[in-house]
Amino acid sequence: MELPKVGSIGEYIRDQRKQAKISLRQLATQAGVSNPYLSQIERGLRKPSAEILNQIAKGLRISSQALYVQAGLIEDREPDSDVLAAIVADRTLTERQRQVLIDIYESFRKENRAEAQAGTERTAENARTEPAPQGVDAVPVEETETSSPNGRIQPEPKKG
Amino acid sequence: MELPKVGSIGEYIRDQRKQAKISLRQLATQAGVSNPYLSQIERGLRKPSAEILNQIAKGLRISSQALYVQAGLIEDREPDSDVLAAIVADRTLTERQRQVLIDIYESFRKENRAEAQAGTERTAENARTEPAPQGVDAVPVEETETSSPNGRIQPEPKKG
DNA sequence: TCCCTGTGCTTGCAAATGCAAACACACTGG
DNA sequence: CCAGTGTGTTTGCATTTGCAAGCACAGGGA
């Protein structure tokens, strides 16, 4: 019934493996999965779990996210973003802080996309050099040095 | 080393669900998974596939990547914060946007450092899993008028 | 020729996912 | 008191993952 996406992930893996010039068995060993299973995955006969996917990514020395995107498991809203990956991976942030950063970043992306749509020849490069169209101004930014946490951005209610 | 992660993802999901103030069944419906299965996932009795994880993330309105990280499926990336590097390198952001993100991120870092100093034995793990009294949806960056009823930051619905 | 090593593929089968149905418990009314 | 509704949990089962063992084919070397 549903196997359209599965095929693409397999092709992608086989592609990457060919590029790395390693055999199916070799990748299977490096990834810690069985050879026949990897074969089935590459041909789209099996839908690997995230764990297996992650191991394959490690074996291929490529980003796990790239595989997840290919598998259609992250296509969420953003195709891919190093900033998001870094934010998500940052263990020094609280969950709420993380979510705030993600929300803001995504809103920026969305806004830039909308900007690019509205303007005719407005590419991202062009927009980048522009000061700021509209909505960006609404965001809290003390253009003077580092804004103090006591200023406007107060993520933790911090009672007591 | 192979099982403690499974528990944490379940706790994380239950945590997020509680914060969203929705019932198990409700989340199960929104995520398109069965209630009993979600129950087992939250208690760490089952290890959900990436597909299910993705659906749960959608149901919770949180980033899929956040869940994958919790499930230990993405920490492949640099664990440390190259957030700043990623922000600086992101060519899709305007200078203003970039500065906003940097300011916010640094304020978070500073706040966390201060908190670690002031707090008792507050480890990073503790702070990370600490449930927010308000809930994630109530993003505390409200100085802009762009926060939607949803709680998500919606940048000015592009007007002509 | 036969044997050996390497490639990928097919075949059962244990173990796990994921769900429908039913259960236990608490709360609300009638 | 029992019926109805809400919560989360347990149980049994179809389906699937993922692997060990084996198959088919190709290329060397003796």
Tell if the CB–CB gap between A82 and B89 is shorter than 8 Å.
yes
Q: Does B141 touch chain A (CB under 8 A)?
A: yes
Q: What angle do CA A83, A89, A95 make, to 5 degrees?
A: 100
ipTM of the complex: 0.60
The SS3 of residue A100 is helix
Quote the pLDDT of residue A74.
72
Quote the pLDDT of residue A118.
57
Residue stretches of chain B with pLDDT short of 50: 1-7, 76-80, 119-160
Quote the pLDDT of residue A2.
35
Q: Does A91 touch chain B (CB under 8 A)?
A: yes
Quote the pLDDT of residue B111.
81
Q: Does B134 touch chain A (CB under 8 A)?
A: yes
Distances (CA, A) of A20 to A7, A46, A59, B91, B115: 20, 22, 10, 29, 47
Quote the pLDDT of residue B33.
97
Quote the pLDDT of residue B43.
95
Residue stretches of chain A with pLDDT short of 70: 1-7, 75-81, 113-160
Quote the pLDDT of residue B7.
44
Token look-up 């050879």 returns A35
The set of strand C positions with any atom below 7 Å of a protein CB reads 6-11, 16-22
Domains, in order of start, for chain A:
4-70 (1.10.260.40), 82-138 (no CATH)
